[in-house]
Structure 1
Amino acid sequence: MTSPETPKQNIFANRSVVILAAVAGLALLTVIILLILLLRPTGENAASDPTLTPFPTGVGSALNEPLVVGIDGNSTITVTTDTPVTLALGGRSFTMQTQAIAADQAWNPNLEDEDTAVWVFGSIVNYVVGIPSSDDNRALLEGLQPGDEMTLTTRGGVSYTFSFDNRQLVSTVDQNVFAQRTPGVTLLMIGDEGNERLVVNGRYLVSEATAGQSNIIQLGESAQLDNIQISVPSVSYMPDRAEVPNGFAFFQIDYEIQNVGLTAFDSNLLRLTLIDNIGNQYALNPTASQIGNFPALNGFLNSGQVMQATAGYQIPLGLSSETMNWVVARSDTGAQIQVNLPFTGSPSAAAASTSITLLQADVASDLTSLILTGQVTNLNNQPIVITETDISLTSPDGSNYLLVATNPPFPWSVPAGQTLQFAVTYQRPMVETAVFNVLSQSFQLSGLR
């Protein structure tokens, strides 16, 4: 038979339980503190994540780090970025901060320093930059004139120059200002109250100094762009495809690109710009590129890999340019090459490869009109297009007579190796002789009165 426990024994037992519980609690607290210290991000990691530091005091360690963005809302782009650090325009210089667009697509940062701008993280085709609202800054943007330049410099020391293009008021909820389709810069006035904000657009400018330092090659030649080698064997002018909008034509460039480096190359680092003799610049057109002889360039090129690709552009129909310049530039290093290309779509090029015959000239029965019939034969291996501006009826006194009717209607598209029959009706000249012009070929008419 056991004896009952005394009160003194119960006190010792309870005290042991309390001591053990306290030791266990202290151990658990120690483990939690150690886990917090181990899992807390370091300063370096925090600087590399733009969402952790919306407005870093410096550029941080984002230079040349892989970046995946889908800023146009349609596709995901993998690039290597070089963070912008300064923006210069109108005699002013802005230091640059960085902020990503929020998940709800809202972007209206609050900047207190009017000499500090903010760059939309990931916008590297069309650089989107916010300028804080102030009287001086508004006067600066509103005072920009055609030809005024804006220079953006990156942390890697690469400078990009843009030329003022246009200025407009845009709704604050309009997401098109963030689009990444055309090389350029977009400046947004931020911090204003109301439903609209001032937006300035600039187009990417290939300066003469930069062009003089680049490799300039001709059709069929090759050039090296850092660790990439490019050659252009052929070009095509397409004015008559069903996919081409009215008043335009497609210009396609077939090229071969090879990665001669030791590591994979991200093709999204390349900017492919077409420039005519006047200086107009054309961005890649997805439709014109997709219907080419080869697929459009996309993704990575492995070391040693060779790829044939097509770059397509949409240009005005009847563009008067003897040649076209294709500029391939790297957005990470600023290196570029220029390829001088023949252009068969200009009136002079079409005339050189066209045989035009005037078959008949008749005064209409009403005696007020002159009917001319003839044919155009295309001797080239590319289609040609003749527009209303390519034909005329003039007299020695300088008069230019009214075109009344044409069959077929303009534009006239003549496939390679084919012949087109035409008939045009003009106001009857008031003089005895006149000259009918088609492209650069002229026919003298007499006995008109």
Structure 2
Amino acid sequence: MTGSRQVKDYYAILGVSPTATLAEIRVAYRERARAFHPDLNSSPEAEARFLEINEAYEILADATKRKAYDYFVSVAQREASESGEASAMPHVVTAQERGEETPGETSTVGVPPSKSPQERGRRPAPPPWAVLLIVLGICIVAAVAVGAFLSLRQPHPSGGAEAVTVSKVTTFTSPLVAPESQIVLEDDGVPLRVASPSQLEVAGLVYPVAAVIPEEGHWPVPAQDENLALWIHGTVVNYVIGLPYNPGTLAALSGLSSQDRLTLTLDSGTKLVFGLPEVVRIDPSDVSPMTQDRPGMTLAVLGGEESTRLLVRARYLPEAGSKPGETTIAGVAVRVLGSEIVEDVRPLEVDSWYVVVDYQVTNTTSSVLQPLAFDLALEDSDGYRYILNETATALGTYGKLEVALSPGETARGSAGYVIPATARFPLIWVFRPDPSLPDDMRVVLDLTSPAPAEPLPEVMLLDAFWDPARAVVVLSGQVTNNGDSLVGIERDQVKLTSPGQEYALVAATPLLPWRVQPATVQQFELQFEVPTQPEAVLRLTIAGFEFEIE
């Protein structure tokens, strides 16, 4: 083989050194992503460069992926250098080879000079220290194998019981600090900052809160500080917090009623309020309460010798929490001015609503701010995210914000979305001045799910004839439901009459009663017993709709 493997130089793509820190990589990524964003750069190559920059950031911002990438490049180059085979030598594609100007430091990964045919034919002997290491490794493996064999032959304790080794799962003398490298939430590969709880208030007791990372499938070991609560890092939908086992905690949790409120303060200053606490006892090994399937908070008592674990489940009450005013993020001060569900205009999508958020931004930076680069999204309580909708945005008070903001300038805009009628409230508005930023602002909107519209049935009679062979009048038509709720038609709502007489219903297809779902059409056929050909005008009544048949 005469070709070479091509490996993208991700360091050169971001314009950083292979020894760059995570902070330097993030800064470089933001600059490059902004420079080649397709919405801000009209160059035909911008989109491809933007995708390449995101690919490089995804690898280098992840410690595990970056380590694997560095190892792959270094090992492949070392093997090619030692074997002398040019075909095995990976070729690193740099920004210069693509004809790009790469500002700043670039990767120093290169290709060593090719060797002569004589040099390629010789394989150098391994150094003596390498042989010594191999021999030492073989000795260690043999020693471990012998020790394992001897341990199996040890006699059991008296009485026939087998010896059991007990090991503690986790222990610490001070609260753990969650590592910055552990990503809890991310958007398109960009880590999002998670506000951590700092204080918990329950039944008049106040607990400082520290983050812990327990072993998977286990509850954390209690802290030595009897007044410290432990938040399981990463539980941000259902906040799971362990409380110390002591008489005060047991009395406070056992005495909770549905009227009590539990307050969790985040390190951002936001206060989350939870209510309707449910006190239960579970098996100490049951970790199912840690699941993140509903918004709320779970308090579990850690420690003690009881056969069951005391647990409290509480529901999130968004209307009782603190609502932030103006928040500054990356030099942009933003405030939500109002929000609404537009009920007089409906989207083309069935069973959906327009939601509009009006906001104000102030550019506190020293450079021009481009609102077109804003990342504006809407989330429901199930975590589903909705993107901007142009039609919905136009329904807002201020419309789409498109004009660039000079330093110190303030402007107002609207952001509109389409949500399904099944979306769970409350809704959360998410703002980021730049999609590449790890931080965002999240505001719980003061909105409630609109009530479904009243049923709007429409009945049409399409055909009618008298069948003398069976002595029946056959009627066919359809029922259309234009509302948002179910339409029900009972048997006693379907009648055929003439002056002074009512005729018996012989058959109905489909069988009555009828249940017509929203935005659907139900075809029907009715047969009424009429002994002789009717001479008078017949009147058909279906759910209040009347038709005359001559």
Which structure has the highest helix share of the two? Answer: 2
Q: TM-score, normalised by structure 1?
A: 0.47
Greater RCO between the two (CA within 8 Å, min separation 6)?
Answer: 1
Choose between structure 1 and 2: higher strand proportion. Answer: 1
Q: Compare CA radii of gyration and give the structure with the larger one.
A: 2
